[in-house]
Amino acid sequence: MKDIEIHHKPNSFSQEKIEKYISQMEYWLEKEKNNTRYLWFLWYSFYKFKNIDNAKKYLELSLNTFSDFYPVETLNSWMMLSYIYYLEWDKLKSLYIIDLTINFYNKVKNDFEVKVNFRIEKTIYKIKEYLLNDKEINFVYEFMY
């Protein structure tokens, strides 16, 4: 790949571009209602731009998509939903979601993408430990995208 130059500008979107991107994702989600990847990009976009209510809406929808085809997106989504419930002081929901995450992780842990995202396992179990021991969760899994 000689002579190829890649530029990555993660925070370079204007509000107009963000709104257009979200609108396009919502359109495509209407066409494929259970597409985990669309749900994932939508909730993550809303989360990154501080619209937690809409992020939570799409995160909750993602609970219905146990996707072996997109295991990393599923695991990331569920970890984040558990974290949002924690921030809302709903420990029972947070524990329930992290238990779902652990069960799903055990099912897909040998998947190539899951192995590449090796921090997932440590983070899932750390969240569970913190919840059980009433420790403050002051970390969020940073997605590897």
SS3 7: coil
* Residue 35: inside a domain: yes
Percentage, residues of the chain above pLDDT 90: 24
- Dump pLDDT digits (tens) for 101-115: 999 999 999 999 999
Which of 74, 42, 71 lies closest to 58 in space, CA to CA?
Answer: 42
Q: Which range among 43-47, 72-76, 110-114, 141-145 shows the weakest confidence by mean pLDDT?
A: 141-145
* Residue 67: inside a domain: yes
* Residue 21: inside a domain: yes
Task: Give the CATH number of the domain where residue 67 resides.
Answer: 1.25.40.10
Asked whether 63 and 85 are in contact (CB, 8 A), the reply is no
How far is 98 from 78, CA to CA, in rounded Å? 7
Domain limits for position 75? 15-132
